[in-house]
């Protein structure tokens, strides 16, 4: 019986021998590489790339080996991104956290890489993809907005900056709607001053909000309800003049007439006599 030397083992069999099962005691997979593969960053990367969609765990072993063995290699950069993208593709909460961590580490390690802008954008997307509906916890939307703004601040000339601008408008729209709904719930409970505070924030922080007609109207109505007619007047006027097609414009016009009538009927302060 003859024994084959390692050099005569078929390449397909070598690939199968690369992954071992579990190491004793710690239950972690490890990579045992044939010498020809271990000495090639590109070969390792290509194997990771090959398996990344059909066997992610196996792919991650190859890709991490590229980073560990060839940290300054061009393929180490690509492996780092591929690992982050693999986590991102899974899409669940825990993998999105891992993806964001990998993208952040990529930016720290390769700050001048052409892929740094992409990595920052992907960090934002890990939050953006997990935003909840308007009316529910807005924390993911707030985080997404902050990371998207960082794309524009740090990489203003990148393609990702243009995409980020679109997403920023959506995040701001959602946050403005969320805060407006809270304000209107205060209004319905007659907590008018709390509603005024929220609506004023929306007006100042989100000047492009598509629902500003509602914001102006209910600001006016809050002041109207607490009999501060002079403060109410400009908001009702704004709705009538700038949002004449909105369903609230007619109500605002009636409120303006009521404001004028109530102001005229209000008792005048008595003049002081010596």
Q: Which tens digits make up the pLDDT trace of 49-103?
A: 999 988 999 999 999 999 999 999 999 999 999 999 999 999 999 999 999 999 9
**Percent of the chain predicted with pLDDT > 70:** 82
- Do 29 and 70 reside in the same domain of the chain? yes
CATH number of the domain that residue 26 is part of = 1.25.40
Is 164 within the bounds of a domain?
yes
Structural domains in the chain (count): 3
- Do 147 and 203 reside in the same domain of the chain? yes
- Do 82 and 47 reside in the same domain of the chain? yes
- Do 202 and 174 reside in the same domain of the chain? yes
Is 270 within the bounds of a domain?
no
Q: Identify the pLDDT of residue 120.
A: 98
Q: Identify the pLDDT of residue 261.
A: 87
Among residues 210, 227, 252, the one where a domain terminates is 210
Question: Under 8 Å CB-to-CB from 186, ≥6 apart: which residues?
Answer: 192, 194, 195, 198
Question: Whole-angstrom Cα distance, residue 67 to residue 76?
Answer: 5
- Do 79 and 52 reside in the same domain of the chain? yes
Q: Identify the pLDDT of residue 272.
A: 62
- Do 221 and 193 reside in the same domain of the chain? no
Q: Identify the pLDDT of residue 267.
A: 67
Is 205 within the bounds of a domain?
yes
Among residues 91, 126, 147, the one where a domain terminates is 91
Please state whether the predicted TM-score (pTM) of the whole model is above 0.85.
Answer: no
Among residues 210, 228, 252, the one where a domain terminates is 210
Is 108 within the bounds of a domain?
no
Q: What are phi and psi of 34, to 5 degrees?
A: -65, 150
CATH number of the domain that residue 175 is part of = 1.25.40.10
- Do 167 and 152 reside in the same domain of the chain? yes
Quote the mean pLDDT of the chain: 87
Is 171 within the bounds of a domain?
yes
Is 102 within the bounds of a domain?
no
- Do 23 and 83 reside in the same domain of the chain? yes
Is 272 within the bounds of a domain?
no
3-state secondary structure 42-109: HHHHHHHHHHCCCCHHHHHHHHHHHHHHCCCCHHHHHHHHHHHHHHHHHCCHHHHHHHHHHHHHHHHH
- Do 132 and 193 reside in the same domain of the chain? yes
- Lowest mean per-residue pLDDT among 38-52, 80-94, 240-254: 38-52
Whether 25 shows a pLDDT value over 90: the answer reads no
- Do 20 and 76 reside in the same domain of the chain? yes
- Do 32 and 74 reside in the same domain of the chain? yes
Structural domain boundaries, residue 257: 216-263
Whether 220 shows a pLDDT value over 90: the answer reads yes
If one compares 125 and 134, the residue with the highest pLDDT of the two is 125
Write the Ramachandran bin of 256: left for phi over 0, alpha for psi from -120 to 50, otherwise beta. alpha
Is 274 within the bounds of a domain?
no
Whether 3 shows a pLDDT value over 50: the answer reads no
- Do 245 and 170 reside in the same domain of the chain? no
């Amino acid at each position: 019986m003859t024994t084959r030397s390692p050099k005569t083992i078929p390449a397909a069999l070598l690939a199968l021998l690369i992954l071992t099962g579990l190491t004793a005691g710690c239950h972690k997979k490890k990579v045992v590489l044939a010498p020809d593969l271990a000495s090639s960053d590109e070969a390792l990367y290509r194997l990771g790339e090959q398996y990344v969609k059909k066997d992610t765990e196996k792919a991650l072993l190859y890709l991490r080996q590229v980073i560990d063995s060839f940290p300054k290699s061009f393929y180490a950069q690509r492996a780092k991104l591929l690992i982050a993208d693999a986590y991102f593709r899974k899409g669940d909460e825990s993998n999105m956290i891992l993806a964001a961590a990998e993208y952040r580490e990529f930016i720290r390690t390769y700050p001048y890489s052409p892929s740094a802008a992409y990595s920052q954008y992907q960090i934002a997307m890990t939050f953006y993809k997990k935003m909840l509906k308007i009316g529910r916890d807005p924390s993911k939307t707030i985080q997404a907005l902050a990371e998207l703004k960082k794309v524009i601040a740090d990489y203003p000339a990148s393609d990702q900056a243009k995409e980020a601008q679109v997403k920023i408008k959506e995040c701001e729209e959602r946050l403005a709607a969320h805060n407006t709904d809270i304000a209107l719930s205060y209004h319905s409970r007659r907590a008018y001053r709390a509603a005024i505070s929220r609506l004023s924030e929306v007006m100042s922080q989100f000047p492009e909000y598509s629902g500003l007609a509602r914001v102006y109207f209910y600001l006016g109505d809050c002041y109207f309800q607490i009999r501060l007619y002079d403060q109410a007047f400009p908001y009702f006027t704004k709705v009538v003049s700038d949002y004449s097609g909105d369903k609230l414009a007619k109500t605002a016009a009636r409120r303006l007439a009521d404001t004028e009538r109530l102001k005229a009927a209000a008792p005048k302060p008595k003049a002081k006599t010596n």
